[in-house]
Amino acid sequence: MIRDGLAIAYDLAAFLILHVGYLFLEASITNAFMVMMWLLFATPVLAGGVTGYFAQGRPFLALLILGVAVACCVGILHLLGPWLGFGKGVGGLGGSFTLVVSSLVFVLPMVVIGGAIGSYISRAHS
């Protein structure tokens, strides 16, 4: 279970780094909608894939925890957006909570899909 916890922690840190980079790119690039959408969808799939690859005890539980943590981090990053220097924010605490709930709908399945791919690759190498 410790290995699952480490996989979640490392992938959450990797997701945060990638999402902060995404937010800075979003603030500076104006005409790259499709590229930015691919980056937005690729970061949770990549984080889930790495968690699925390294989690051994209970990979599905690890993916669910990672998905909820990723959605919460998205809301917190967008709440702190004006303070960090990218964007106008999401309208205070209520807007951040709405973003977390809507992120759960989209991000959680992407993390689980990435985790399924990572778990499949891990079992194929065994």
32-91 tens-digit pLDDT = 888 888 888 888 999 899 988 988 888 889 999 999 999 998 888 888 877 777 766 666
Q: Which residues, at least 6 apart from 1, have a Cβ–Cβ distance to it below 8 Å? A: 57, 58
The dihedral over CA atoms of 46, 52, 72, 33, expressed in degrees to the nearest 10, equals 20
Helices (H) and strands (E) in the chain — how many of each? 5, 0
Q: Using the 8-state DSSP alphabet, how is residue 92 labeled?
A: H
Q: Output the pTM of the full model.
A: 0.83
- CA dist., res. 74 & res. 95, Å (int): 12
